[in-house]
């Protein structure tokens, strides 16, 4: 429970932080205000006071920003999934660009020669991969939805405008299904939804064995979805074991496409794929234009996953080597390479967070390198790079501007010129910042 300390404060908001909160300063102390935008005067209540800063939430907007819009979602004030629906799409991208630039300057003490134009996509209906939380209270009421803001409580969601319309439309029925399913089969950990080009999967994740009566419920629900005109499959996953299809006789793999490179990428429930298929295709296109792999060049793709960048790179490079920690992803990437005829794409399993100079020596020389790490960044890799194995060009795709800034400083110390950086609005309506950076060896 949040403790409200004080009421009836006002502030002029001058910036926004990486969580999407407005930033104000009162008597020299920073105040982070949920629901406030830059250039607004707001009335707020103080929620939490700390030594260095205060946390608050807006209770009324005295002078609104020109970029303020009405949130589209009826759950915006309670659901923790989106924090920027009250800002225009243009303002959201500008905020993210500002956060990227501030992190590069403050943490990395580096700044690119050029700021790339932001990459835009659809603001709504874009999220093709989502995890629904499932909870039951003491009275047996089951909720399917997302966590409340700053809480473990689940908000039961019956529509969501960032999901494709056909996924949002099933939420009322999914809530009803889980009410009956949990009574029969017990607790459900969560439900994953993954949307492919021709097929949408619901992966029901639980600990208990699937009871026959519960299986019948899922089969009827699946039949109803498919009779409504879509193509759906239900999969089951027990704990950390591999997921399996409820009806294995009719279970083709879902896939997404990268049409610019004529690449098809099958995936399974649990595989990491970008949540925004449209923006992923645009991001891959920008990354490969910056990388500019040539027919005589050997290229590395680190944290390669299923081969999202590796296979497009294979279309232009002499050889591309994808490096990935997870064994199962390496196997999946090899399968995807074979499907797409990319015989010059090789994949190796390695723990990139444990990279040392000796590891880099074992890899051999790469003309160019693409990095696409998780939020933790690629610090071990950037630290381990050394002559004569320094690639002449590095393109870094980041989902965390603070670790990008840290790693950019390391690369600058190794003789790389920070040529360009820019944001990719992969996660519209949220404060998550996806970005891309280009480094060139002096």
Helix, strand, coil % (nearest 5) of the chain? 30, 30, 40
274 is in an annotated binding site: yes
Residue 325 marked as a ligand binder = no
Is 272 annotated as a binding-site member? no
Residue 180 annotated as part of some ligand binding site: no
Query: Is 74 annotated as belonging to a binding site?
Result: no
Instruction: Using the structure block, give the residue that is written with the tokens 């649990």.
Output: 270
- Rounded to the nearest 5 degrees, what angle is found at the Cα of 265, between the Cα atoms of 225 and 129? 45
303 in a labelled binding site: yes
Give SS3 for 230.
coil
Q: Are the beta carbons of 302 and 396 closer than 8 angstroms? A: no
Q: Residue 422 in contact with residue 116, Cβ under 8 Å?
A: yes
| Residue for token pair 């009322």 | 172
Active site residue 399: yes
Sheet holding 368-371, edge to edge: 114-115, 416-424, 434-441, 393-398, 368-371, 298-302, 319-324, 345-349
CA 360 to each of CA 220, 300, 330: distance values in angstroms, whole numbers, following the listed order: 53, 11, 19
Determine which one of 193, 247, 399, 417 is catalytic.
Answer: 399
308 marked ligand binding residue: yes
For residue 79, say whether it is annotated as part of any ligand binding site: yes
Q: How many CB atoms lie within 10 A of CB 149?
A: 18
247 labeled binding residue: no
Q: Measured in whole angstroms, how far is the alpha carbon of residue 373 from the centre of its chain?
A: 12
Element (H, E) at 173: helix 171-185
Q: Is 73 annotated as a binding residue?
A: yes
Whether the Cβ atoms of residue 26 and residue 9 lie closer than 8 Å to each other: yes
Number of residues that this document lists for the chain: 442
Residues recognised as catalytic: 399
Binding-site residue ranges for [4Fe-4S] cluster: 73, 79, 82, 160
Binding-site residue ranges: 73, 79, 82, 160, 274, 303, 308, 324, 351, 372
Binding-site residue ranges for S-adenosyl-L-methionine: 274, 303, 308, 324, 351, 372
């Amino acid at each position: 429970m949040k403790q409200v300390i004080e009421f009836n404060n006002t502030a002029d908001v001058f910036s926004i932080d990486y969580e999407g909160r407005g930033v104000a300063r009162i008597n020299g102390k920073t105040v982070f205000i949920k629901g406030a935008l830059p250039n607004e005067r707001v009335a707020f209540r103080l929620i939490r006071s700390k030594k260095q800063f205060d946390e608050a939430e807006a209770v009324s907007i005295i002078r609104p920003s020109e970029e303020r819009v009405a949130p589209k979602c009826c759950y915006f004030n309670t659901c923790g999934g989106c924090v920027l629906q009250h800002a225009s799409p243009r303002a959201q991208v500008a905020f993210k660009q500002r956060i990227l630039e501030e992190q590069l300057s403050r943490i990395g003490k580096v700044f690119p020669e050029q700021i790339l134009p932001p990459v835009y996509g659809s603001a709504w209906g874009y999220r093709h991969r989502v995890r629904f939380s499932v909870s039951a209270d003491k009275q047996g009421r089951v909720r399917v939805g997302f966590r409340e803001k700053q809480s473990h409580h689940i908000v039961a969601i019956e529509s969501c405008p960032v999901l494709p319309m056909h996924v949002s439309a099933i939420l009322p029925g999914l809530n009803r299904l889980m009410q009956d399913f949990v009574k029969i089969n017990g607790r459900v950990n969560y439900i994953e939804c993954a949307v492919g080009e021709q097929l949408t999967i619901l992966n029901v994740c639980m600990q208990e064995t699937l009871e026959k009566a519960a299986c019948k419920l899922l089969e009827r629900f699946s039949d109803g979805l498919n009779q409504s005109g879509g193509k759906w499959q239900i999969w089951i996953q027990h704990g950390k074991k591999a997921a399996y299809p409820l009806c294995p006789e009719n279970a083709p793999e879902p896939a997404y496409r990268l049409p610019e490179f004529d690449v098809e990428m099958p995936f399974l429930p649990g595989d990491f794929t970008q949540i925004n298929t449209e923006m992923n295709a645009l991001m891959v296109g920008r990354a490969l234009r910056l990388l500019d792999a040539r027919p005589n060049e050997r290229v590395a793709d680190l944290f390669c996953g299923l081969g999202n960048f590796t296979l497009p790179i294979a279309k232009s490079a002499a050889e591309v080597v994808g490096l990935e920690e997870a064994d199962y992803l390496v196997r999946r990437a090899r399968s995807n390479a074979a499907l797409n005829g990319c015989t010059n794409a090789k994949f190796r399993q390695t723990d990139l967070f444990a990279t040392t100079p000796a590891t880099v020596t074992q890899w051999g020389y790469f003309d160019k390198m693409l990095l696409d790490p998780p939020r933790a960044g690629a610090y071990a890799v950037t630290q381990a790079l050394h002559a004569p194995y320094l690639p002449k060009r590095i393109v870094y795709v980041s989902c965390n501007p603070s670790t990008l800034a840290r790693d950019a400083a390391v690369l600058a110390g190794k003789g790389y010129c920070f040529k360009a950086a820019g944001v990719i609005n992969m996660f519209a309506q949220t404060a998550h910042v996806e970005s891309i950076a280009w480094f060139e060896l002096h």
